[in-house]
Amino acid sequence: MAHIIVINGPAGVGKTTLCKHLANSFPGTVNISGDAVRDFSPIDAKDWLGPRSTYRASAALISSYLEMGARRVLLDYIFETHDSFEWFCSLLPTTTPIHLFTIWAPLDTVVAREASRPGRERLGDRVLQTYQALQRNLPFLGEIIENNDAVEVVAGRIDGLILKSAGMQVPIR
């Protein structure tokens, strides 16, 4: 059965790195980066494409890959509230399970990671604003995964939770 895995969290928490690892551990996985989707959009996307255009584009891309036969689609993005995530889910096929994982780390870790990402414009105050919004809504943002271990360990936890929710045997690692 196909399924969608959404990796949520503040900028700099490790979403992209984690998704790359998850995609490599399961052949045929489609890995959609929220940064890449935003890169397609014009700076004034809201004026020309309307609100939440990158959410809509991400959902359309996921739906297209599922129609083509993808069994596992990953999306790393920032959903600050449960309402925004639910709205996003309303754009996806209703028959495909969606797993939401919010990756979390202490603020000082997130700020340091975001500041050290090469080739990226710094997000400045937006990192703190996003972190605080997510922190207020953590109880409503799916399974919370602490990102204070090696990427392989965090990915293993996510894979284990997905298998468990599907009623499958969790492999011993």
pLDDT in tens, 130-165: 999 999 999 999 999 988 877 888 888 888 888 777
pTM: 0.88
Residues in the chain: 173
51: CATH: 3.40.50.300
Tell whether 100 is covered by a domain. yes
29 pLDDT exceeds 60?
yes
Tell whether 172 is covered by a domain. no
Residue identified by tokens 């202490």 is: 106
pLDDT in tens, 99-128: 999 999 999 888 887 877 777 666 677 888
Structural domains in the chain (count): 1
Q: Which domain holds residue 49?
A: 3-165
Residue (of 57, 58, 69, 61) closest to 2 by Cα position: 69
